[in-house]
Amino acid sequence: MELLNRNARRPKKANHGKRPCSHHRRRQKRLGAKKA
């Protein structure tokens, strides 16, 4: 479950704001068509 969760989580500023964590954006784009 932890693994799944890791990817499901909403993004935080992972590296003290250096880079936003994650595939979240990309995933949104990819899923956008199905789940607008």
Q: In this predicted structure, what is the pLDDT of residue 13?
A: 62
pLDDT tens-digit readout, 1-36: 555 566 566 666 666 666 655 566 666 666 666 655
Going through the chain in order, the beta strands assigned E by DSSP cover none
**Dihedrals phi, psi of 20, to nearest 5 degrees:** -65, 140
Q: In this predicted structure, what is the pLDDT of residue 9?
A: 65
Report the candidate in 23, 18, 20, 19 with the shortest Cα–Cα distance to residue 8: 23
For the chain, domain boundaries:
2-32
Alpha-carbon Rg for the chain in angstroms = 11
Put simply, whether the predicted model's pTM sits higher than 0.75 gets the answer: no
